Amino acid sequence: MTVPVQVQRLPHGADLPLPAYATAGAAGMDLLAAVAAPVTIPPGGRALIPTGLAIALPAGFELQIRPRSGLALRHGIVLPNSPGTIDEDYRGEVQVIVLNAGAEAFVVERGMRIAQAVLAPVQRAEWRPVAVLPETERGGSGFGSTGTR
């Protein structure tokens, strides 16, 4: 199933390709860095990386911004608010918060695949206050209560 998404190329990203799926079965589209000059992120540092794109999502959808597994494994590059959410009513530039959790400085260059975007449907919650929740076998146990094996 395809969903039409309106996209505006901003002046600083006009020469970069639009996000695309790398394979027929890919869930995410690569987002490219629309930086004017290389951005060096020191170990433990973070930077806001522009994509040069603004979008208009159809009603009932969000765009999730997720890290790329190869950057995470090889360089320790993660997105601290992962997944980031672009709401259907946001019209500003899509930007990516990048955190260098690695041991060495990381350089973001123009056109680098910096993150991936996944289009997802949104379900809205309707809160219903109750005096008592239904019981389950698990109850309130959490934070590793099921062990590691």
Largest CA distance in the chain: 57
DSSP classification of residue 43: T
Predicted local confidence at residue 37, as pLDDT: 98
Peptide bond into 83 cis (omega under 30): yes
Predicted local confidence at residue 64, as pLDDT: 98
Predicted local confidence at residue 119, as pLDDT: 98
Task: Extract the residue ranges of the chain whose pLDDT is less than 70.
Answer: none
The Cα–Cα gap between 54 and 89 comes to 11
Predicted local confidence at residue 47, as pLDDT: 98
Compute how many other C-beta atoms are within 10 angstroms of the C-beta atom of residue 141.
10
Predicted local confidence at residue 147, as pLDDT: 79
Domains of the chain with CATH codes: 6-121 (2.70.40.10)
Predicted local confidence at residue 142, as pLDDT: 83
> Over the range 81-95, which residues count as b (16 or more CB within 10 Å of their CB) and which as e?
eebbebeeeeeebbb
Predicted local confidence at residue 141, as pLDDT: 85
Helix residue spans in the chain (DSSP H): 69-75
